[in-house]
Amino acid sequence: MKNFWNTLPKPFFVLAPLADVTDVAFRGIIAKYGKPDVMWTEFVSADGLVSKEGREHLMIDLAYTESERPIVAQLFTSKPENMRKAAKIILELGFDGLDINMGCPDRTIEKQGAGAALIKSEKLAREIIRAAKEGVEDKIPVSVKTRVGYNQDILEEWLGAILEEKPAALTVHARTRKEMSKVPARWEAVERAVKLRDFLQGESLAERMLIIGNGDVKDLADAETKARETGADGVMLGRAIFGNPWLFDKKAGYQNIKTKEKLEVMVEHTNLFEKLLGGKKNFSIMKKHYKAYANGFNGAKELRTKLMEAGNADEVEDIVNMFLKL
């Protein structure tokens, strides 16, 4: 097996999969200005991927460039057979790894028995991991992203079951499904996950299962502190990436990035979105990014108002050029 997880520094820092955010365009910008140690695609339905019609529609969510490696495809399903078939597709597409989403709280996903709903079905969750491994033929590593429980913290029971299937890496969002993001992430849960892994695996380092902590990480310095305090092998950062493609660049320092550069990168991001995703994804997806890029400087509110009315990359560029001339 080509297991890139074993080659990473400790601690390592990775970018979370965020629906309608971390698409191929934004990941391309991040790879250029502040590349994390690992990137994920947006999550994709394994059920959809194994149907001809669904595959044509979903392939855009599995687009990636070489600059993003190592790149992991994230899938969700409640059907082991569909996971097996979809995993074969992921292998054929040349991804470096496959990740299984067992933590998404979206009701549409849960109604399918997938995402966080799998926390309530330990047996099925284990079957899906095995199916994924069979699908990729043990040629690329399989990892899992989940939470500490559904309605309550059952970390030892739930994660213990997942770890018995020996995923290459396990990302632990330090909240339950019920808590969503309404309460602060409890990073002591990540420390418990590390201790559980160590207990189950003993001293074996040959095929070390890695623990990645996730939840409320502000920046790289915060991530380093959390890794040190919990013993996590890696830390996943998500919402902090909004408006900050430099997040993973230790040298850049977001506070040192000038407003002009932020806006120029925003225009570059917009052009790349239109080039790679124009006609395939709605341009309005970019507007959540504009709210983050155009923030924290004089005139930002007025600029955001104009950007919200833009309908294409040329209009965005004209609005930014006019603003920079003021």
User: Contact, 128 vs 77, CB < 8 A?
Assistant: yes
Measured distance CA(147)–CA(178) in Å, rounded: 10
Helix axes 122-135, 80-92, angle to 10 degrees: 30
Q: Which residue type occupies 68?
A: E
Listed residue (200, 203, 89, 103) closest to 143, CA to CA: 103
Given phi > 0 = left and psi -120 to 50 = alpha, else beta, which region is 233?
alpha
Q: Is 128 in a helix, a strand, or coil?
A: helix
Length of the chain equals 326
296 phi, psi to nearest 5 deg: 85, 20
Distance, CA of 93 to CA of 91 (rounded, Å): 5
Please, are residues 302 and 58 in contact by the beta-carbon 8 Å criterion?
no
d(CA 70, CA 302): 39
Do residues 158 and 179 lie in contact, with contact meaning Cβ atoms separated by under 8 Å?
Answer: no
Give the DSSP H/E element, type plus range, for residue 24: helix 24-33
Set 104, 109, 237, 277: catalytic member: 104
Q: What's the distance, CA 212 to chain centroid?
A: 12
Q: Is 104 a catalytic residue?
A: yes
Q: Which residues are catalytically annotated?
A: 104
